[in-house]
Copies of this chain bind each other. A is one copy, B any other.
Amino acid sequence: MERHFERDLAELQERLLWMGSLAERSVHQAIHAVLDSDEKLAQNVLEEEDAINELQIELDDRVVQLLALQQLMAVDLRFVLAVSRINVDLERIGDQAVNIAESAQRILRHPRVKPYVDLPRMSELAEEMVRDSLNAVVRRDSELAKSVLLRDDQVDRLRDQIFRELLTYMMTDSSVVFPTFDLILVAKNLERVGDHATNIAEDVIYMVAGRDVRHHAPDRR
């Protein structure tokens, strides 16, 4: 019985990581649809959305079964509850990728408004945060998780810079207002990817330490 249950926990983590890798790839493809003007990548993201959604349902079922059949020890209970939440964040990361892919499709109908400088940096940072938050889950590594929390401020600063630049650009040429606004939405979506990675990192710290770090992290609005 004990063994069986340990195997279930290991499988739960494995499936969560698989879902995480799909979500990561979606974000990567969606943002590169914009950066490399590659319509095909946007299409991929839209096609792969279902796989992520199905994994969310599967993971929730696994969580309920584990909690229903087992009286878990505190440490395992915290892990299972963390998975139940991380699951939601990963699915939302997938949603953000879909939003970016849809913006990409609209953006690609117009000539490129300006060279992208901060957007690639922002997307690298956000993708790295997702990757490291999941690495922190696997290694139960609060230090790595804390480094994710710290990076959220950088993402927010880049977002503000991108907003300022693009709004100024709108002021100089009113004909680009609509396509430029889609770039603003992309930056907003990347910000939310970073927020979800931050949520995952907070769940890791809670899971490891058994105490709550939320609302004690540096202000990240």
Binding site for B on A (CB under 8 A): 50, 53-54, 56-57, 60, 63-64, 67-68, 71-72, 74, 77-78, 81, 84-85, 88, 95, 98-99, 102, 163, 167, 170-172, 174-175, 177-178, 181, 188, 212, 214-215, 221
Contact = CB atoms under 8 A, between A and B. Distances in A.
> Is the contact region of chain A dominated by helix, strand, or loop, or is it mixed?
helix
Contacts of A63: 81
A98 B84 CA distance: 26
Contact of A57 (B98, B172, B212): B212
A45 B178 CA distance: 32
Contacts of A99: 221
A60 B212 contact: yes
B85 A77 contact: no
Contact of A68 (B74, B171, B212): B74
A53 B84 CA distance: 20
A212 B177 CA distance: 40
A220 to B, nearest CB: 10
A177 B180 CA distance: 13
B181 A174 contact: no
Contacts of A177: 167, 170-171
**Can you tell how many copies of this chain the complex includes?**
2
Contacts of A212: 57, 60
Contact of A221 (B72, B102, B172): B102
Nearest to A170: B177
A3 B73 CA distance: 24
A208 B99 CA distance: 30
Contact of A174 (B74, B84, B98, B170): B170
A118 to B, nearest CB: 17
Contacts of A77: 64, 67-68
Contacts of A167: 177-178, 181
Contacts of A170: 170, 174, 177
Contact of A215 (B57, B163, B221): B57
A75 B72 CA distance: 18
Contacts of A163: 181
A68 B77 CA distance: 7
